[in-house]
Amino acid sequence: MKLATLADGSRDGRLLLVSRDLTRAVNAADIAPTLQAAIERWTEVEAPLQARYQALNGGGLPGAFGFDPAQLMAPLPRAWQWLDGSCFLSHGELMQRAFNLAPIEGVEHTPLMYQGAGDDFLGPRQPIALPSEAHGIDFEGEFAVLVDDVPMGCTAEQALKHVRLVLQVNDVSLRALAPREMKTGFGFIQAKSSSSFAPVAITPDELAEDWHEGRVQRPLEVSWNGKWFGHPHGGAMHFGFHQLIAHAALTRRLHAGTVIGSGTVSNADRSVGSACISERRAIEMIEHGAARTGFMRFGDTLRMEARSRDGTPLFGAIEQQVVQAVSPCV
């Protein structure tokens, strides 16, 4: 299934089902009013949602209408918990080489993860509004999963059965603010603004053979200001999502509606490009002694999309522009 959230003036929007080819949508709020409600009652609502989804794909479903990503919020506009990993080791290795950082002990055996803000996720066409270009505005292309209730102590072997939906993310980062926050050991606050999500969340079966070993086995295509930036492959995750879930649940329960991210998609093969500016800058520092690529400026545009093997869109595209925020606090 493919699910989305229509902006209707409320904080949580209205649940939609979206056709496999992302051309048609239909209201699903009579089955579950919101995606959060659906996740909390998944065993009850999955069958009726699936039946309507099949009818939508078959054509001729009464009430169906044209799919318009501009009318959408993030699939889950606000989450009980947003946990983001850093599971592509090639990305971390580049940062260490570029900035002469000491290796993180045990990084091959224990996932890196921080707890971010899940109360204000952005939709696929919402602008990225930020106060200053001097903060080092960067994008980070990722994949993520949305889970139902996960018990404390859930093992990696048990974890995948709790994955209900898979998502595509732009985890916006402010690179000039990150170094100080990392040194404190208290985690990110200012350096991580609202993350953005592709139009639809999909059930793992929509990926077919490309959902394997707890990983999205597809490339993530990224362009910046209309120019190719990279298409790194999601299958290169060192830790799969099942391992991330087990890591997060070691000492606490995860409630339905928790979102867990993969971290920046990155490959050791540099010919595939990157999914964030910071990685390209690190490569430039290693190869040329200094970074040559600047961070995003107001007016810049970004596009991210993953497709199936036959070219069918999976999550739809994130298409955003960076704009200067106007603060109401005066």
329 domain residue, yes or no: no
Q: Quote the strand ranges of the chain, DSSP E.
A: 2-6, 14-18, 24-27, 65-66, 81-85, 113-116, 128-130, 137-138, 141-147, 163-170, 173-174, 196-197, 201-202, 211-212, 215-216, 221-224, 227-230, 258-261, 301-305, 318-324
What does the pLDDT look like over 184-228, one tens digit per residue? 878 888 889 999 999 999 999 999 999 999 999 999 999 999 999
Residue 44 shares a structural domain with residue 161: no
Residue 307 — pLDDT band, cuts 50, 70, 90? very high
- Exposed, middle or buried by CB within 10 Å (0-12, 13-18, 19+), for 57? middle
Domain boundary among the residues 70, 91, 123 is at 70
Residue 92 — pLDDT band, cuts 50, 70, 90? confident
* pLDDT (0 to 100) of residue 60: 82
How far the first Cα of the chain sits from its last, in Å, is 45
277 domain residue, yes or no: yes
Residue 159 shares a structural domain with residue 19: no
What does the pLDDT look like over 133-179, one tens digit per residue? 999 999 999 999 999 999 999 999 999 999 999 999 999 999 998 88
Output the CA torsion sign for 205, 272, 200, 12. Answer: positive
Task: State yes or no: pLDDT of 118 exceeds 60.
Answer: yes
What does the pLDDT look like over 18-74, one tens digit per residue? 999 999 999 999 999 999 999 999 999 999 999 999 999 999 899 999 999 999 999
Residue 173 shares a structural domain with residue 218: yes
Report, in this order, helix, strand and coil percent for the chain, each rounded to 5: 25, 30, 45
CB < 8 Å & 24+ apart, contacts of 7-12: 7/71, 7/72, 7/73, 7/123, 11/77, 11/78, 12/36, 12/77, 12/78
Average pLDDT score, the chain: 94
330 domain residue, yes or no: no
Task: Write the CB contacts of 53 (distance below 8 Å, at least 6 apart in sequence).
Answer: 1, 2, 17
Q: Of 322, 214, 319, 304, give the one whose Cα is nearest residue 264.
A: 304
Residue 65 shares a structural domain with residue 84: no
Residue 54 shares a structural domain with residue 88: no
- Exposed, middle or buried by CB within 10 Å (0-12, 13-18, 19+), for 160? middle
Contact 212, 234 (CB under 8 A): no
**Owning domain of residue 41:** 2-70
164 domain residue, yes or no: yes
Its pTM stands at 0.95
**Percentage with pLDDT > 70 across the chain:** 99
CATH number at residue 194: 3.90.850.10
* pLDDT (0 to 100) of residue 99: 74
